[in-house]
Structure 1
Amino acid sequence: MTNHFAHVVRGSGPGLLLAHGAGGSVEGNFGSILDDLAGTHTVVGPDYPGSGATPRSTEPLDLDTVADELVSIALDAGLERFAILGYSLGTAVAVRAATRHPDRVTGLILTAGFAKPDNRLRLALDIWRELLDGDRRLVAKFATFAATGGQHLNALSPSELEAAIDGLAGFIPEGSPEQVDLVASVDTSAELAAIAVPTLVVATTRDGLVPPAHSRELAAGIPGAELVEIQSGHGIGVEARDEWLGVIQKFLSASVGEGTD
């Protein structure tokens, strides 16, 4: 594993650590809201091995190690305490970070996440993982089919759909196989009851990859968690950017408190 993940540090104010999804990156998953978040917070966004500028790992990824590394990066960036915004796989990273470093984490925002894969998600991961050995455009077609909300998908013209698939195919990080394998190994269900910080769970209700039942399970398992459901596929940063940003900002200012450093 690399010594330190490549990362961005943006803005000023209370700390906010970003945990991106599998086959994603900070820019890919949070790029549409990064400027706004950095307007009120010191945002630290690490890229997992094989995403962004972080070298690919030569060994399997481990949830404890990834969570510890993200916390270490936040501390090195000068954040003593911070909220974590996790997306997809990043929700498991966020939960594990809060479990292992409870003195550091002030709040959690868990978007399009899960405690552990069910059979449907496991099948999707199996297909995704096998496709990664072949044509990247086929990977992009599968991801578009599985993850995009129907309303958003069907509103695209044929040329827009082709452009979206081409864009996604060009974006697939080289570390995707290890990241997808990490998703398959995740199980945070036993630690949810111990989460003692304010938590917002954001369910993506049109998500065919990680359906909202997973978010409802997270919210039910974490004491006092607030559940918000947004009509979006998995790619909420594109499909429902303004609504997502709105609930994040409202939660950070009300529940975590702007005075936290």
Structure 2
Amino acid sequence: MTDAPARPEPLDHIAAGSGPGLVLIHGTGADANSNWGPLIDALRDRYTVVAPYLPGAGATPVDPAPIDLDSLADRIVATARTAGLERFHLVGHSLGAALATAVAARHPEVVTSLALHAGWVRTTPREAVMFDLWTRLLRTDPALLARHLVLTAMGPDLLDTLDEGGFADLTAGFTAMLDERILGQIDLDTRIDLREAVGRITAPTLVLACADDRIIPPHHQRQLAAAIRQAAYLEVPGGHGLPFEDPARFFSLITAYVDERQAQART
């Protein structure tokens, strides 16, 4: 007699609202509230919104072993089901986009539509060096990593408007989000390889790129869109941190796409 396979353990998460399902996956170093709070508030009147906390965020414990992309994708689906969702629209930012890609490939039956911001198919040596720098800076002084992220994650339209106090405030905000609990997330960033997964995605997909993204540059999103059969590609001004530098614009793009796909799903 063999033991039944263990069920994936749900993640700590925010669940709000009622209506069709919408799952939001945050990026490295952020969390469900900091990445998605305004969008959750805006959509909870017509969607059941579930926003998981990745390992090391919220009350989700740090994973003692290196985080496995596929296993974490399964945990995201288990989290949605815990909140009562059997099918849902799926949105991810950065690492969250890589995870959303994995979810849509492994569980196509649950994904109504897919929206990926700042995603990528495979971590290249350039990004691996950058993520190693993040790890070294975080272990040395989180404020140094915060300064680096302000200068690389934010787009020039925002950076050009900041005075010394503005830079200090933004750096302090980033520093507050950073501690060694996220090292596992950064390690996962270094190991993303979705080349075998992207061809299995069947959901209609929006791949959203930012023209000034210096963390995951737009050529990665173009590659991602080309590999997904039903993907539309949209490139807009802004940096990798668009959800933070211009949340109103970012969330309006996501809302319009999800609402359009939900209307089509009803017909």
2:132 corresponds to which residue? Answer: 126
Letter in structure 1 aligned against 2:10 = H
Q: 2:173 aligns with which of 167, 171, 174?
A: 167
Paired residues, what number? 259
Letter in structure 1 aligned against 2:42 = D
Which consecutive aligned stretches of 4+ in structure 1 deviate over 3 angstroms post-superposition?
256-260
8 Å CA contact 2:10, 2:82 repeated in 1: no
Q: 2:34 aligns with which of 21, 28, 34?
A: 28
Q: 2:82 aligns with which of 63, 76, 95?
A: 76
Q: Distance in 1 between matches of 2:48 and 2:195?
A: 30
Percent identity over the alignment is: 37
Q: 2:51 aligns with which of 9, 20, 45?
A: 45
SS at match of 1:44: strand
1:14 corresponds to which residue? Answer: 20
Q: Say if 2:182 is the partner of 1:176.
A: yes
Question: Once the 2 structures are TM-superposed, how far is the Cα of residue 3 of structure 1 from its aligned partner?
Answer: 4.1
2:224 corresponds to which residue? Answer: 218
Unaligned runs of 5+ residues in structure 1 are none
Q: Distance in 2 between matches of 1:221 and 1:162?
A: 40
SS at match of 1:40: coil
Unaligned runs of 5+ residues in structure 2 are 1-7
Per-residue Cα deviation, 1:22-55 (whole angstroms, up to 9, x for no partner)? 1221112222322113232111011011112222
Q: Distance in 1 between matches of 2:49 and 2:39?
A: 11
SS at match of 1:48: coil
2:120 corresponds to which residue? Answer: 114
Per-residue Cα deviation, 1:94-148 (whole angstroms, up to 9, x for no partner)? 1111111111111110011111122322221110011121111001011112211
SS at match of 2:216: coil
Q: How does 1:167-246 map to 2 (within 5 A)?
A: 167-246=173-252
Question: Once the 2 structures are TM-superposed, how far is the Cα of residue 259 of structure 1 from its aligned partner?
Answer: 5.3
TM-score by length of 2: 0.92
8 Å CA contact 1:230, 1:244 repeated in 2: no
Letter in structure 2 aligned against 1:20 = H
Letter in structure 1 aligned against 2:162 = L
Q: Which has the higher contact order (CA 8 A, sep 6+)?
A: 1
- More displaced 10-residue stretch of structure 1: 247-256 or 43-52: 247-256
Q: Distance in 1 between matches of 2:12 and 2:124?
A: 31
1:155 corresponds to which residue? Answer: 161
TM-score by length of 1: 0.94
Q: Distance in 1 between matches of 2:145 and 2:208?
A: 26
8 Å CA contact 1:32, 1:238 repeated in 2: no
SS at match of 2:162: coil
Aligned pair in 2 of structure 1 residues 11, 258: CA closer, same or farther (>3 Å)?
farther
Q: Distance in 2 between matches of 1:148 and 1:13?
A: 34
